[in-house]
Every structure is written in structure tokens, then in C-alpha cells.
Chain A
Amino acid sequence: MKADKRHPITKAECPFGFRWPVAASLVTAFLLLTGCDGIQAALTPNSPGAERIAEIAWILFIGAAVIFIAVMALTLYAMIARPGRGGWIGSGALIIGGGLIFPVVTLSALLIYTLDAAGVMTAPAEGNPLRIEVIGHMWWWEVRYLDEDGNVAFVSANEVRVPVGRPVTAAVSTADVIHSFWVPNLAGKIDMIPGRVNDVTFQAEEPGTFRGQCAEYCGAQHAKMAFFVVAEEPERFARWFEHQSGPAREPQTPFITRGRDLFLSSGCGACHTVRGTPAAGRIGPDLTHVGSRVSIAAGILDNHIGTLEAWIANSQRIKPENRMPSFDVFEGEDLRAIAAYLESLK
């Protein structure tokens, strides 16, 4: 190829033109960033730990962008510089300074900086943290709240409620395979490893609802293993804590009573606990106050009578291979009664 001296690379030889790649990457980056805004987003942090993570992300992103642009500029210069002009790019000083000293210094500094941030997140919380235990199951989350003495006050599932402004220490573990507990708005990922208990600490700054997701592939329904974190004012949280510690609400109407009786006679209690009734199973989520939760089936369905009915009759179709059988055996009225009973368990 014989290049024109004044126009070393012509438009025709560079099929995408000069401007398109730049424009395209800017648009893509923008779109990606807008996706990072919301209830499951590392870039809208709501806890000191998550803020550190977001900070690291920005520093890395901006730093990498600056270095990338500098390197590209040098490359471009090397290509279009008149012969004999760009020799300094190959000088020993630049190679040793830019290729060796700069990376060593930058990477070491980054390492120290990130290790420090990680230390902040796993360090035992100061003050009087709320302590919870989260246990990963295929494919849902068991959440236990400990009282001041470290005993289990009550068990819940698929939802973590925390008071704002108070640190929370979650001891995470697993009942089966490796899962990973991840609420991007509040904390980094922490793996749930068989035979181990890992701690993660976070503190919600503002009230709000955030979404968490299992971040380690754990089988067929890994993608449908999510949960919600609800951060609320301390007084509200205290009232909630108090209420959750109590037994399930007694049925108030004949229809709901019928629902409870069907729930018990159908054997739901073999897998589910409803405190205050003979149902004491431990295979599935504790349902004592299931009606008060944001979602069911590990964050994948809204929680109301319709979705409860759908789940009971079709759990294997909604979430194939999960451990709950489909109970496609009820007449319409009976199904509605069971769902109404569960909904009433606020």
C-alpha cells in the first residue's frame, strides 16, 4: 500500500470513519450508565460501604479513561507524525517512566486504596449493630434476626429489613451450594460458602427499597433468586421488629379460617413454618408474616392474592425444579381461601 504523504490514512481505508467509534462508545457508555441508576445499582450508593465501592468505580473509570486517551493520543501521533518527528516516543526514558514506573506506582497505590476500602466493609461494625443471619437456599433466602443477646428473635425470608442510620452486620452462609449475597446499593458481593460464615457490614443512609440478587451461579433458578432490602426509620423498624417476633395473626373471617385449615391439611406445614400453628417445616420460607413482605418466591413476584394463587398452583412452572411442588389440586374457591389466608398474615 502506498500512502499519500499528506493524508496517511484516507476515509476509504478506514471503513467506519474517525468519528463513529467515538460517538458510538459515548452513546453506549451513556446507556449503560443510565441502567446503573435505581434500586439495584452500584452507582447510586446508599451506605458508606457502597459509597466507597462507587468511589472506587469512578476513580478506576476516570483514571482508566485518562490513561486510555493518553495512550491513544500517543499512538495516533506516532502514526501521523512526519518522519523523524516522533522519535522521542521510543526513548528509553519514556519507556521506563511510562511503561514501568508509572504502572507500578499507580497499581500499588490503587491496591492499598482498595484494600483499605474492603477493610472498611468487612470490619466489625462500630456501635450497636443490628445483627442478622442470611442463609442461601436453592433458590431463596432465609433471613434470621438476632436479638440483643444474639439469639434468633424470629425468622423471615426473601426480604431484609433494616433501620436507617444503624450499622447492620449480616452473617451469611449457605444450606446447600455456593451463593453470593449482593445488594449493590448497600454493599459489595459476599459469597455464601458451604461450611463457612462470612460477615458483611453496611448501613443504610436513606429510607428506601433496594433489590439484591444472588451473584454466584447456583443452579437452574439462579437468575430467579433475588430479594428486597427495605430500609426504614428506626421507630418504624422497631415496631416492625416487635410485630414480626410475634406469632401469626389468627384468622378473622370464616373464609380465612377455611384457608388456614386447608393450608394445614394440605401439608404445607411439612415445609413451611407459621408460628402459632402446628406448621413447623423448614424446607421453605417461614410464612408467619408472609403477607407483610414486598415480594414472594425470592423477589420474582409481587405479593398479592393473585400472585399467591398463581404460585401455589404453578410453582413448578414459574420456577422449574424449585423445591416446592405445584399444588394444582384446589378448586378455585379453595385456592383463593389459602391465598387469602397467606395474604392476611401481615
Chain B
Amino acid sequence: MKRTLIILAVLIALFGAGAFTLAWSGIYNVAASTGHLAVTRWFLEFGMRNSVETHALGIEVPPLDDPSLFYRGLGHYQGGCAPCHGAPGEGRNPITRQMLPPPPYLANTIEHWSAAELFWIVKHGIKYAGMPAWVAQQRDDEVWAVVAFLQRLPEMEPEEYRRVSESQATSQIEGTPEERARLLAVAGSAGESLVACARCHGLRGAGGGEGGFPRLAGQSFEYLQHALESYAVGSRPSGIMQPVAAELSEAERRNIAEYYAGIEDAPYPPKPQVADRETLQQGAALVANGAPEQGVPACVTCHGPSAAVAPDPVYPSLVGQYAEYIALQLELWRSGKRGGGSYSEIMATIAEQLTDEQIRAVSLYYASLRPGEAPQAAAESLGERLDAPSVVPDDRN
């Protein structure tokens, strides 16, 4: 018994020394060009597949049918995934194809994975393979958006892929190539970097993707610059916007902010259809009066429309913003994930008090507003807060 143990120990030590000598001598070839042995490839694949399956156990899949999720996923896929994984109808990048293992063409492999497994892969990446983890680990909502898109990828013909990726923001706004050229010329020094933004936010900053991409037109220079700064330094986590903003120099961020802040004629999408009268009234009341019994202040003071005193320009406008985007941001604050520095702290304290129902109402209400179109409902309920009624019932006074 004792002998066996000793022999075993010696064998292990020899093996370790051998492995070390192999690595030290430099005989082992780390070249990606030579590929793996078939057995190594099988083993790595086997290990990866099982690891993903095990780690994805217990992940709950939220509803993924909201079109804004699909578009947000698509938008990010084009910039963040397609360079490695390719896309329908687009030639694949010859450089990334020489990685080892090579990034697979996803349209062919997606069906092997469940939504939870895709989520896990996209969020955490894959070790020793060059598959990167998600930039903003707290933004599960963004990862799910990518999953929502991936699940539709296999059935997508090149024709359809081109159509949806173009229609998400650009086509509804830019119109003819001449007009695009004119807008880019107006953008001046921002023009070059603007092309990247326009893919999601449009050349006129009208946003799009059914609410997947926020509207930028109508925001002040101060707010846009502040938002881009926050993304770039990572204080406002977003796996989609952080990489884009971090690539710009400070001067580029300023130029683009100036360009978008100067746009006055950006078109609006149709008003949300799902909003019934009652919801809009509830939203209007909240915007005009807040909900004092809950500690929620009137949004109008800081976000308009037509506040009595012009708010600090660093405070964003919400008029005509997409409902999906407003609701998403409020939910991020409620779950402590919005980030954005000191200004964001102001909004965090307020957003914490809101209920689901109030978030829906206020989002739909703002999304239905258009500048200059003073909403009746808001004006009607404004009178209420001006007189503070005595708490003691009349008969006791």
C-alpha cells in the first residue's frame, strides 16, 4: 500500500516536470495557423458545451418578444459581434476567421443553444477562445436584447437582414442619399464619427428601433455631452454605448453633442398606440403634480414640457422620447443599475418611489407628447397643488 502511494507520487512529479520542461523548452507550438488535433478539438468542444449547459441551469428567461429588444440586439450585433461572427449576406472578416477556435457563423449554430445558454455565453464569454464577456456585467437587460435578436438570426435571409438593419433608424429619417450627404456636411468635423451613431440613433437623432434606441434630438448640448462622458468613463454602464463612446476623443464627443443638440427638425415616430385615455391621464397627473403622498415630485419641473422656470440644461428633456426607453431607464434606477454620476443620484432617489403602473403611465404620456402641443390633461390637473387644503375636516374647524 505504502509502496503504491510512493510510486504514484513519483509518477505525478515526473509528469509535472515533463509538462514544465515541454513549456520551458518552447517545443509546444502555440500557432493558431496549425489548428488543433482532432481529438483536442473534440475535447475542448465537449468541455465547453457541458460547462455552458451546467452554468446556464436556473437562469430564468424573461419575455423576449418586445420588438425594441430585437432591434437593440441587432444594432449591437452589427458593431459588436458581426466582425467576428459574420452576418447574413455579408462577407466574413478574413482576419477573425483565422482565430483559434474560429468564431462560428452563428446563424448555423444558434439552434443548438437554449435562450438561457445563449444568455450565459454572451454575458460571460468563453475562456481560451477569444469570445469576449459583456462589457457591462450588470446590464442583463442588454444581454437579453442580444439573445432576442440571436434567436431570430437563423431564419433571416440576407435580404431581410439588410432590410431590418437599415430600417431600424436610418431609412425613416434620412431619405435620399443627397440628403444624407447634406446632413453629414452639416455635421462638419463630427461627420465621420456620426456615421457610426446614425446606424442606431439616425442622422437627425430621432432614435428608432421601436424604442430600442433613444431619441437624441431635442436634448441640450450639456446633457448629451454629460451622457457621452458618463458612458466613456464607464460610470453609466451599457455594453452597447460604452464601447461606442469610449472610442471617441473628447473633442469628437463635444462635436457630436453639438451637432445633435442643434437639430430642430427631427421627425417623430407615430404616437404609441397602446396608450388608453386613462393611462395618459394618470401620466399627465404624475408629470404635472407628482404623487405627494408617495414622495414623488412633479416631473415637469425638471423635464418639461414648458416648466415654469427653465430647468438646468443638464437635465434631459423627455418630450417625445420613446416610452420603451423611458421605462427602461426608470427600471434601471429602481434596480440600482442606471449609473451616470451625481446627476443620476438625483433621479435615483425619485425613481425609487415609482410603481410599475406609474412608470408605464408616465412613459407612455411623455412618448405621446410633441413640443408646442400643450396637453389638455396636464393643464387641467395643475390647479390642484396650488391650494393646500386644511387637513382638519370642515366641521371641526
Contact across chains for A328 and B345 when beta carbons are under 8 A apart: yes
Contact across chains for A325 and B348 when beta carbons are under 8 A apart: yes
Contact across chains for B391 and A316 when beta carbons are under 8 A apart: no
- B80 within 8 A of partner (CB): no
A-B contacts, 8 of them at CB < 8 A, read A146-B390, A150-B390, A267-B302, A267-B311, A270-B299, A281-B298, A325-B346, A327-B342
Shortest distance in angstroms between A123's beta carbon and chain B's nearest beta carbon?
Answer: 15
- B296 within 8 A of partner (CB): yes
Q: Give the contacting residue for B301; candidates A138, A151, A267, A326; CB below 8 A.
A: A267
Interface of A is mostly: loop
Shortest distance in angstroms between B315's beta carbon and chain A's nearest beta carbon?
Answer: 7
Bound-state CA distance A329–B296 (Å) is 21
Bound-state CA distance A19–B302 (Å) is 70
Q: Give the contacting residue for A133; candidates B293, B295, B309, B390; CB below 8 A.
A: B390
With A267-B301, A324-B349 in contact, do A282 and B309 touch (Cβ < 8 Å)?
no
Q: Which residues of A contact B393 (CB under 8 A)?
A: 197
- A278 within 8 A of partner (CB): yes
> Which of B302, B310, B348 is the most central at the interface, judged by chain A CB atoms within 10 Å of its CB?
B302
Closest to A330 in B: B342
User: What is B's interface to A at a CB cutoff of 8 Å?
Assistant: 290, 292-293, 295-299, 301-302, 308-312, 314-315, 342-343, 345-350, 353, 385-386, 388-393, 396-397
Q: Which residues of A contact B315 (CB under 8 A)?
A: 267
- A78 within 8 A of partner (CB): no
Q: Which residues of B contact A151 (CB under 8 A)?
A: 390
Q: Give the contacting residue for B345; candidates A150, A152, A197, A325; CB below 8 A.
A: A325
Q: Which residues of A contact B290 (CB under 8 A)?
A: 270, 281, 283
Q: Which residues of A contact B347 (CB under 8 A)?
A: 325
Could you count the A-B residue pairs with CB atoms below 8 Å apart for me: how many are there? 94
Contact across chains for A265 and B391 when beta carbons are under 8 A apart: no
Q: Mark A120-143, 1 if CB is under 8 A from B, else 0.
A: 000000000000010100100000
Shortest distance in angstroms between B137's beta carbon and chain A's nearest beta carbon?
Answer: 25
Closest to B312 in A: A265
* A318-346 residues at the B interface, CB under 8 angstroms: 323-329
* A32-63 residues at the B interface, CB under 8 angstroms: none
Bound-state CA distance A151–B391 (Å) is 10
Closest to A327 in B: B346
* A74-114 residues at the B interface, CB under 8 angstroms: none
Contact across chains for A173 and B345 when beta carbons are under 8 A apart: no
Bound-state CA distance A49–B315 (Å) is 52
- A193 within 8 A of partner (CB): no
Q: Which residues of A contact B348 (CB under 8 A)?
A: 325
Contact across chains for B295 and A155 when beta carbons are under 8 A apart: no
Contact across chains for B390 and A144 when beta carbons are under 8 A apart: yes
With A265-B310, A324-B349 in contact, do A283 and B391 touch (Cβ < 8 Å)?
no
Q: Give the contacting residue for A266; candidates B298, B312, B342, B388; CB below 8 A.
A: B312
Q: Which residues of B contact A146 (CB under 8 A)?
A: 390, 397
Contact across chains for A175 and B293 when beta carbons are under 8 A apart: yes
Contact across chains for B301 and A270 when beta carbons are under 8 A apart: yes
Bound-state CA distance A294–B314 (Å) is 34
Contact across chains for B396 and A197 when beta carbons are under 8 A apart: yes
Contact across chains for B309 and A278 when beta carbons are under 8 A apart: yes
Bound-state CA distance A176–B390 (Å) is 16
